[in-house]
Amino acid sequence: MTSERHIDVPHGPNTAGKPGEPAVGTLLLDTAHDKVGEFRGECEGSWFLRPVGGGVEWETDPADTRPARPADRARARSLAEERVRGKFRV
């Protein structure tokens, strides 16, 4: 089940919070949801990711993530571009 909600997680720009956490902005693949997102922070043991190009953050288990590979990054950029094009269609 996907839990999508917005939570303001305090963090500094491009810094890691706790040991073992990626730096804010790091691209990760959430294998449970098959989505690539930017790491935004941690809250109560869950990690929060935001879609590339912006959007609603989602919550995931850190064990279900890995660093995004080049193919993952390309797919995420392509999806972000499609979302932007869709917003401006008449």
pLDDT tens string 47-60: 999 999 889 999 99
Q: For residue 75, which phi and psi values (nearest 5 degrees)?
A: -65, -40
pLDDT in tens, 16-27: 567 889 999 999
Domain boundaries, the chain: 1-90
Q: Which pTM does this prediction carry? A: 0.74
Instruction: Supply 8's token pair.
Output: 């303001």
Higher pLDDT, 68 or 13: 68
Instruction: Please check whether residue 43 is in contact with residue 9, taking contact to mean a CB–CB distance below 8 angstroms.
Output: yes
Mean of per-residue pLDDT scores for the chain:
83
Instruction: Check whether 65 has a pLDDT greater than 60.
Output: yes
Q: How far is CA 28 from the centre of its chain?
A: 6
Report the pLDDT averaged over residues 3-29.
66
